[in-house]
Amino acid sequence: MKLNDELFERSKKVAPGGVHSPVRSFKGMNMSPIFFKGAKGTELEAVDGTRYTDFCMSFGPLILGHRDPDVSREVEEMIQTGWTFGACEPYSLALAEWITSRVPHVQKLRFVSSGTEAVMSAMRVARAGTGREKVLKFEGCYHGHVDSLLVKAGSGLAGESASSSAGISAKTASDTLVASLDDEAGLEKIFKERGHEIAVVAIEPLPANYGLLIQRKEFLQKVADLAKKYGALLLFDEVISGFRVGLGGMAEILQITPDLVCYGKILGGGFPVGCYGGRAELMDLVAPLGKVYQAGTLSANPVGMRAGLATLQKMEKLDGWKELERRGAAFEQKLSKELAGTPFQVSRYGSLFWLHNPTSSPIRDITQIAPSHGEHFAPFFRACLDRGIYLAPNAYEVGFLSLAHTDELLAHCAIKMGEAARATSRT
């Protein structure tokens, strides 16, 4: 790890904490972050040549695996054709038509460069469309680093919030109300007291940024019903779940139609792409048709457009979502057996999984996560590294499967992860 440590020391001199996103810092893992130089399929190669089976998959975009050959051909051809135009081109049109022809609740859309940008823009549309200012979000859901959504539950009035980041004004934080997941009574109280102020209710229908908090359909239906009753818009943040749990995302699975939806990650096939879309009359509020301004120099970058379309076309052709569900179920069964008697249990939804403290019922709210979870995870993470397995370097991040993860590889990794869990539970 000598070369790796040298790179980190250099990086700390030029970047805050030596990283360009805090979750890459290995904070709490008691080691320097690993620097990687290459990847293919399910493998990451570190700068020192060590290879790891990757379950982070760049935090979700790589549903086909690293450098899928079909996607790679599209990318290489586009790079030889043009990098960016700052003008209209046919590549974003092809991807937009593919999505709108298959996802009924996306009548129109706008491509941007990240999930955060998509959510920020959708919030603006919602406020313009309703003439209201308040946003309602849920504790345990993450919507990017938008100022008004980097808030946590406060105290006192129903839904009162406080900033969860320095640099956000109290006034900005006060525009956001915060509810608890899996709590119909608390949600109804907020709507009863503040409902006519709420422009939009933003929720991850499959919360997967603070653990994997699988919600009951009944609760999510209540969210939708109350939003409609009080004249608020419903925004599904499917940056993670979109095109991962199924072609139509959680909206299709739940049979709940949001007014607005945000996508990212898989949509770009490994390149920086985001998108917000929804009902045509709402999207037509966006410039140049409407008065909601939003623009971006690299929006709908042609490389990302072609990578994203190639990814989605391949998933559809292979019925990849059904196959990932099958592999995920087998992996969950094997891993659950291997983790028995250790401080860990696995929760899974489709191709997403999360290791957490053993519980007798599903974890649906962050208050149900054991305070010792992070303490147990750090040595387990390092033990997995010793066995050639790379997980996201944070106890609250989920793991991702891809079509590159074969049944044989998953069975092998389940055994190794069980070994890691047993080794660290004895220390």
How far is residue 238's CA from residue 99's CA, in Å, rounded to a whole number?
A: 14
How far is residue 34's CA from residue 25's CA, in Å, rounded to a whole number?
A: 9
Residue type, 187: L
Find, among 184, 217, 185, the residue nearest to 349 by Cα: 217
DSSP character at residue 66? B
Handedness of CA 253, 231, 100, 315 (dihedral sign): negative
- Are 282 and 110 in contact, with CB atoms under 8 Å apart? no
Q: Which residues contact residue 225 at a Cβ distance below 8 angstroms, ignoring those fewer than 6 apart?
A: none
How far is residue 19's CA from residue 115's CA, in Å, rounded to a whole number?
A: 19
How far is residue 106's CA from residue 346's CA, in Å, rounded to a whole number?
A: 33
279-306: b or e for each residue (b if 16 or more CB lie within 10 Å)? beebbebbeeeeebebeeebbbbbbbbb
Residue 17 token pair = 């904490």
Residue 405: φ, ψ to 5°: -80, 105
Provide the pairing of β-strand 43-46 with 274-278. unpaired
Measure CA of the first residue to CA of the last residue in the chain; give whole Å: 24
- Are 296 and 113 in contact, with CB atoms under 8 Å apart? yes
Residue 227 token pair = 């939003």
Catalytic site residues?
142, 237, 265
DSSP character at residue 151? E
How far is residue 97's CA from residue 103's CA, in Å, rounded to a whole number?
A: 10
